[in-house]
Amino acid sequence: MFCEALFHKLLILRTPGIGPVKYAQLLERFGSVALAVESLRADQALVDSVRREMDLAQQLGIIYICDDQPEYPKLLKNIKNHPPVISVRGNTNALRKPAVGIVGTRHATAAGMRFVHELACGFASHGYTVVSGMAMGTDTAAHNGALAAHGNENTIAVLAAGVDYIWPLENERLYHYILERGAVVSEMPVGSKPIANNFIQRNRWVAGISEKLILGEADLKSGSMATAEFAHDYGRPVFAIPGHPSDARSSGPNRLIKQGKAILCGGIFDFFDDEMQKPKPKAQESKTENHVLDKIGNIPVSESVLTELVKKDIAEIKRELVVLELAGKIKKLDAGYVKI
């Protein structure tokens, strides 16, 4: 069903050179969307373009939500120069739940992604929607962690393109899984492709829609650090997962913690008291006092170090590592072995 009011809003926003700031200025100046549109005197090409966008959205089941509707995320509406209209594909109920943003580098370590996965699953299990940007690495771990929890509406992917455009292509399967059990959202036109500036806007409102933000591994000059800075500026609590000082991927969260702009995040128990009460699974007794698996954790450990820890020769260590790897209990990385 054609909505003239929505059409007018999109016509303003799709006019070259007009974003949320100029949109608000036009409404303030002319007093209504209709009069603001009339002042622009949009050419037929722009009118046809917006009609095509709305037709495509209807075909794909994409919903537009305006900032004067009750469905519009309240926290996002509270930030200055928020997007006047957003498009949603998937389950709009995800926008009504309390949200936590989890972001970080595309080049995350296996240990970092595992930590984020568990954190996101914990938040989703406690009724939160996990918000991220569907990039590779940390974002992917956050979405997958949320989807691993029971129930629906557990995650929101904020895109730098139209909600129908899958980027990166490696996450096509994740995209469709999010559509089934969460939501994909954007302020960009349906059918549009991502450009560099769009990612800044995407980062801005990942922070805006979230009541708290958690930063995983991130370089100092990364988009994730920008997201954390946005969250800090909006007065939202920022948490950071610390890492080894020699790893550039830990420089971002470590600096925010040092500057007092972020609270150190040690795990899901930092946020929910009931996690402290959960009984810890009993470790299986090993046949030997110093079993190889007991000495492998989230940080890669080499064969030579294991020989010292377990007090066995290298040949025995290698045999046990092969057995553990085939059993799917450990994984070999360039720097050594980590537990799965």
Gap between the Cα atoms of 238 and 256, Å rounded: 9
Task: Answer whether 1's CB lies under 8 Å from 25's CB.
Answer: no
How many whole angstroms separate alpha carbon 71 and alpha carbon 85? 11
Q: String of b and e for 285-316 (b: at least 16 CB within 10 Å)?
A: eeeeeebbbeebeeebbeeeebbeebebeeee
For the chain, what percent of residues have pLDDT higher than 70? Answer: 95
Residue 284 confidence (pLDDT) = 44
Report the share of the chain in percent with pLDDT over 90.
79
Q: Strands, E, within the chain: which ranges?
A: 63-66, 85-90, 99-103, 129-132, 155-158, 183-186, 212-215, 238-240, 263-264, 330-333, 336-339
pTM, two decimals, is 0.84
Give residue 283's pLDDT.
42
The pLDDT value recorded for residue 144 is 97
Question: What is the residue-averaged pLDDT of the chain?
Answer: 93
DSSP reduced 3-state for 182: coil
Mean pLDDT, residues 4-14 = 97
pLDDT (tens digit per residue) in 232-285: 999 999 999 999 999 999 999 999 999 999 999 999 999 998 876 665 544 443
Q: Output phi, psi for 278, to 5 deg.
A: -65, 130
Q: What is the largest CA-CA distance in the chain?
A: 82
pLDDT digits (tens, 9 = 90+) for 173-207: 999 999 999 999 999 999 999 999 999 999 999 99
